[in-house]
Structure 1
Amino acid sequence: MKSEDQLLNFLVNRLDEEVSLNLANNVEIDAEDIYEALFGATADGTSISTLCNSSEDSPSANTILYHLQTKFEPERLERLANTLLRRDIVELLPEQVEVCADLHLRPYYGDEDDTDGLYHSEESVGPLRSTLATLYARVRNKRYTLAVRRLDDGDTASSVLAEFLGVLDGLDTEVRAVYLDRGFYDSKCLTLLQTHNYAYVVSIIRWGEAIQQELSEGWSRVIQHDLTGKLDGHSWTVEFPVNIDCTYLNGKYDDHGAARHGYAADAPFIETPREARYHYSKRFGIESSYRLSEQAMAATTTRDTTMRLLYVVVSLLLQNVWRYLHYEYVATPRRGGRRLWRWPYKEFVNMVRRAAWMALAVRRAVPANRPPDDRFYR
C-alpha cells in the first residue's frame, strides 16, 4: 500500500459498491462522506457525533446518523453484511477449511419492560441483549468472518446453525470440520450436522444424570450418548459419540487434581479424546477477534439494535480487509508460501484513523488566548 488514504478508499469503495443509499438530489452530502465518517469513528473508537463535531469538512452528525438509521433495515443489513464480509475473502480460502461458529451473549441489565424481542438463552435465567452468532473460517491460524447473525426472541441455535450450514454449502471449498461452542449443543443442532454430513466437535453441557455421572468419574474414554428432541408434537432421538478427556494436574482442578472435558465429536481424523480436545481448542481464536473488535468499534449509546449491529459489522469488516490486504498486497510471494511481513492490526487501524482525520479535516489545533512562548518550539 502506497499511502494511508488508499486504505480508506478501499474500505469506502467496498461499502459504496454493495450498498445503495439512494440519497435525494438536493442532499448536500454523498455516500462517500457518510462512509468516511463511519470508518473514521470505527477506527478512532469514538462516536460519529464526537468525530463530526471536531471536524471542519465533515457533514452534520445528525445528517449522517439519520441516513444510517433510515437506509439500513435489519434484514437488509444482515444480507449486505454477509456479502461484504465474504467479498475477497473467499479467494483466500484453500481447498479445505475448518470453520467455527460462536454465540456471543451479553447480559441485559435494563428494565424488564424493555426486554421485548431480546433473545433468551436456555442456560441463562434472564434475557440477553446484543446477542450475535458469528461464523469463521480458520486458515493458517488466521480467522476470516464469513457470516454474522443477530438473534432475536424466538430464534434458536438450530435456526442459526441451519443458516450457517447453508452458507457453507454454497462455498466452493470443502469443509473439513465444524467446531461449535456449547450454545449449539442440542438435539436439533446435532441432527443438522449429521444430515449435512459434516464432521464436527461440540462442547457438551451436563444435561441429565447419566452424562453428569460419566463426567465425574473414570479416565479418558469414548462413550455413546443420545439426546431426545421434540418438534410439533413429534419426538426423535439422536445418537452421537462423546469423547471424555481426563486431565490430571495436582492442585489445579479439585482435591483429586482431575478435570474431565466432554465433546460430542464425530470426525474421521479424531481417534482419541485428547485429539478431540486439541481440535476443539482451535475455535478459541474466535475470542481474539472479539478483542480486536474492542480496539476498533464506533462508540454509541443508542438502543437501536440495527445501528449497534452495523457498528459490529464494520468492525469485523475492518479485520477481514486487514487480513486480505496483508496477504495479497503486503506479503511477499515466494516458493513454499508467502512471507508475511509484520503489519499489526493496531497499525492498520491507526492508518485508517489518520486517513479519516485528513479526509474530514479533524481539528489538529486549539485556539490560544496568547501566543506560545519558546517552550513550544525547538
Structure 2
Amino acid sequence: MSTANSPILTDSETLKEVVNCLTENIPIKTQGKCEQQTIFEILIRAATQKDSIENTSKVLTNVPTSKNVYYHLGKYSDLNSLESDLNAALQSRIPDVILKGKHKIAIDFNLIPYYGEPSPSESPYIYRSQAKSGTCSFYAYATLYVIKKNQRVTLAIKAVRQQDTLVAVITYLLALIKPNTFKIERLLLDREFFCVPVIRWLQALDIPFEMPAIIRGKHGGTRQLIRGRRSYKTTYTLNSDKYGSVTFQVWIVCTYKKGKRRAHGREFFVYAVYNIKLSLYSIHDDYRLRFGIESSYRMKNQCRIKTTIKNPTIRFLFIALAFLIINIWISLLWHHLSALIKSSKKAFSHLFTLKQMLEFLRQTIDRNYGVAHEVYLT
C-alpha cells in the first residue's frame, strides 16, 4: 500500500476502470454525437444515484437526450447475446486470489415485482412465484456467486424466461464456469430449487449440494420431520405427480431461540443434502454463508438504475450493470487496497466502501460533463 501522501486510487481511475470494462465487453453501435463512452457514463451516473436515464440526461449538460440513449440501447435486441457479453464482463474483473482452490457456489433468484397485465411480448419474461409485495408476477434473474474470503462475487447472471425450468437455469449458469480453473466444492441453493427434477439431476451429476427443504403438510410431508428435541439425520422421499419421486438425505437441525428477537423455544431447520463433508451441527452455520447473498442484493439496490421501461433486454442490462459495478469494486479492493497479513491477503474494505466508489463515479462524471444550474421556460 502507498503512503498517505500518494493516492492509491483516484476517482478518475475508478471511472476509467468501469468504462473500460463495459467498452471491452459490451459493444453498442453509435452514430453522430452520441458516443459509446458517453452512453456508458450516463448509465453509470444513473446507477450511482439510483436514478432514471431521463433525469440523468437532464441533470448533466452536453449529453444526449434520454430518447437518444434508449434508441442506441435498443439496438441490443438479442437478449442471449447481451447475457453472454455481460457474463464475460462479470468474469473479467474477478481477482485471482478469489478463484484459487475449490469453491462454495451459491445460486439464487432475484425477483423484481411486476404489476399489471403483461403484453404478448412481455409474457415470456414474466416469472410466476410465491406472492410477494402484492403480486405473484416478477421479472426474475438467476445469479451464480462464489463465496470466498468473506466476499461474494457474482460469476454469472441469467434472465429467467417463463418457459425455463429450474434444471435449465442451473445448467446454463454452471456451464459458464471454466472447469479447468474453477472447481466446485458444493452448491448452496435456496428453497426455490427444492423440487424433484433439480435434486434428481444434481444427484445424477454427483454434484454436492445443500438447500433448505420447503415445509409442507399439516402432519405428513416434510412437516413430519420436525419432531423431538435433538438434531438428527434421515432419508426422505419427495413425490411429484408430474416428475415422479426422488429419495435423498435430510438433516434436521434443532436450535433454541434463547430470546433472539424476543422469541423462545425450539426452532427447526431442515436441509436436503447430498455428498457434503460436514457435521450435522455445522451445516446450519455453513448455509448461513449464503445469507450474505441477501446483502449482495441490498448492495445491488444501491446502484440499480430506476426504470419503468418494459423492454426485457434493457431491463436486464440495468440489473447486470449493478452487479458489474460491485464486482469492479471488489476487484479494486484486491488490487489497490489489500496487503499480505500472516501469509494471507486481506482487503481493507473500510478504506473504500461501495458508497464511496459510487460517489467517486458520480463526481467524476459531473466534473467531466457539468451539471445544470438553471432551468428555462421554452
TM tier, smaller:
0.7 to 0.9
Separation in 1, partners of 2:41, 2:354: 19
Is 1:361 the counterpart of 2:374? The answer is no
What does residue 97 of structure 1 align with? Answer: 103
The alignment of Structure 1 onto Structure 2 pairs a total of residues equal to 361
Query: Aligned ranges for residues 281-300 of structure 1 at < 5 Å?
Result: 281-300=288-307
Separation in 2, partners of 1:111, 1:190: 33
Residue 104 of structure 2 aligns with an amino acid whose one-letter code is E
Residue 162 of structure 2 aligns with an amino acid whose one-letter code is D
Separation in 2, partners of 1:103, 1:190: 17
Q: What's the offset of the Cα at 1:236?
A: 4.8
Is 1:221 the counterpart of 2:228? The answer is no
Query: Aligned ranges for residues 136-147 of structure 1 at < 5 Å?
Result: 136-147=145-156
Q: What stretches of structure 1 of length at least 5 have no aligned partner?
A: 369-378
Contact 1:36/1:359, CA 8 A, preserved across alignment? no
Residue 221 of structure 2 aligns with an amino acid whose one-letter code is A
Separation in 1, partners of 2:197, 2:326: 32
Q: What's the offset of the Cα at 1:73?
A: 2.5
Q: Deviations over 1:130-167 (max 9, x none)?
A: 21111110111101001111112112222111212323
Is 1:266 the counterpart of 2:271? The answer is no
Q: What's the offset of the Cα at 1:189?
A: 1.0
Query: Aligned ranges for residues 306-317 of structure 1 at < 5 Å?
Result: 306-317=313-324
Separation in 1, partners of 2:160, 2:297: 17
Percent identity of paired positions between Structure 1 and Structure 2: 25
Separation in 2, partners of 1:156, 1:227: 18
Separation in 2, partners of 1:226, 1:282: 27
Structure-2 change in CA distance of 1:254 and 1:45 (3 Å): closer
Residue number among 50, 67, 70 corresponding to 1:65 in the alignment? 70
Residue 22 of structure 1 aligns with an amino acid whose one-letter code is K
Contact 2:115/2:135, CA 8 A, preserved across alignment? no
Separation in 1, partners of 2:63, 2:113: 35
Separation in 2, partners of 1:249, 1:28: 62
What SS does the aligned partner of 1:71 have?
A: coil
Residue 271 of structure 1 aligns with an amino acid whose one-letter code is S
Contact 1:243/1:263, CA 8 A, preserved across alignment? yes
Residue 239 of structure 1 aligns with an amino acid whose one-letter code is T
Is 1:352 the counterpart of 2:361? The answer is yes
Contact 1:331/1:340, CA 8 A, preserved across alignment? yes
Residue number among 12, 18, 30 corresponding to 2:25 in the alignment? 18
Q: Deviations over 1:282-303 (max 9, x none)?
A: 1000011111112112111212
What does residue 205 of structure 2 align with? Answer: 196
Contact 1:162/1:192, CA 8 A, preserved across alignment? no
Contact 1:56/1:360, CA 8 A, preserved across alignment? yes
Contact 1:58/1:361, CA 8 A, preserved across alignment? no
Separation in 1, partners of 2:9, 2:298: 28
Q: What's the offset of the Cα at 1:210?
A: 3.4
What does residue 4 of structure 2 align with? Answer: none
What SS does the aligned partner of 1:58 have?
A: coil
Q: What's the offset of the Cα at 1:185?
A: 0.6
Separation in 2, partners of 1:309, 1:271: 40
Higher mean C-alpha displacement, 237-246 vs 122-131: 122-131
Separation in 2, partners of 1:243, 1:340: 35
Contact 1:249/1:258, CA 8 A, preserved across alignment? yes
Q: What's the offset of the Cα at 1:322?
A: 0.3
Q: What's the offset of the Cα at 1:72?
A: 4.5
TM-score w.r.t. structure 1 length?
A: 0.87
What does residue 373 of structure 1 align with? Answer: none
Separation in 1, partners of 2:112, 2:59: 32
What SS does the aligned partner of 1:290 have?
A: helix
Q: Deviations over 1:62-120 (max 9, x none)?
A: 11111112225211111111111111316231211111111122443323777722112
Q: Deviations over 1:207-226 (max 9, x none)?
A: 45232111255531101012
TM-score w.r.t. structure 2 length?
A: 0.87
What does residue 376 of structure 1 align with? Answer: none
What SS does the aligned partner of 1:21 have?
A: coil
Higher mean C-alpha displacement, 290-299 vs 67-76: 67-76
Q: Deviations over 1:144-200 (max 9, x none)?
A: 001111112112222111212323463612211110000011111112222232221
Contact 1:188/1:229, CA 8 A, preserved across alignment? no
Query: Aligned ranges for residues 1-378 of structure 1 at < 5 Å?
Result: 1-24=8-31, 27-89=32-94, 91=96, 92-111=98-117, 116-117=123-124, 118-121=126-129, 127-168=136-177, 170=179, 172-207=181-216, 209-217=220-228, 219-228=230-239, 236-249=244-257, 257-272=265-280, 274-333=281-340, 335-341=342-348, 342-363=351-372, 365-366=373-374
Separation in 2, partners of 1:286, 1:14: 23
Residue 215 of structure 1 aligns with an amino acid whose one-letter code is I
Contact 2:76/2:313, CA 8 A, preserved across alignment? no
Contact 2:129/2:137, CA 8 A, preserved across alignment? yes
Residue 249 of structure 1 aligns with an amino acid whose one-letter code is K
What does residue 5 of structure 2 align with? Answer: none
Contact 1:119/1:155, CA 8 A, preserved across alignment? no
Larger Rg: 1
What SS does the aligned partner of 2:345 have?
A: coil
Contact 1:253/1:259, CA 8 A, preserved across alignment? no
Structure-2 change in CA distance of 1:195 and 1:123 (3 Å): farther
What SS does the aligned partner of 1:89 have?
A: coil
